[in-house]
Structure 1
């Protein structure tokens, strides 16, 4: 979890120091928002975060949540005018890159179940879209 958080902050500090960089687009994940909540039809907004000690929250969800929160805290406290947008894909589909693929989490939420790949998937964002 520390590498995800520190790596995110390192990129933001470098972007702030670089000339001409106005906005950073961070690829987060819906894991930063939708894990640990009851399955009650809740509509997620920018105010929602994964409940870190909630049911089914694994290390990946914790690391994505902590990294994105650190990014927003950085922007609020020391951005120097830098803007941030985060993209929170629900699923990433594509060919397997190698033969060693870990299995899916047994307690994944309903929105993480496999869907018809021909239908567009929702994409959640925080901040201003580029």
Structure 2
């Protein structure tokens, strides 16, 4: 796995990151940001690709009281200039199962079956998980 960039903690009272992104995922996010503008992630554990993280243009997927903001990624371009922030959300029901897990968003070759914006690029985001100590 490539190097990782941690998100800013987003759950009230927590001072640690629950989500990270690999350098490969960041590279793809920069490309997708250029195509779609600001982005967001939602991890539902539901239909389509099951537990694959879904990336949408920011605001296209509506979050509400049944969702938890796990982290916020500060995305820079290749030269280090700020592009903006990407929120990573998870359904509260899924979080009940994964609350003791640190998530790393990575990318692999292949198309998922969901509605995530990376699908036309021949790539798909996936989660690598590790129990938090």
TM-score, L = length of structure 2: 0.28
- Structure with the higher fraction of residues in helix conformation: 1
Could you tell me the TM-score, scaled by structure 1's length? 0.28
Q: Which has the higher strand share?
A: 2
Larger of the two Rg values belongs to structure: 1
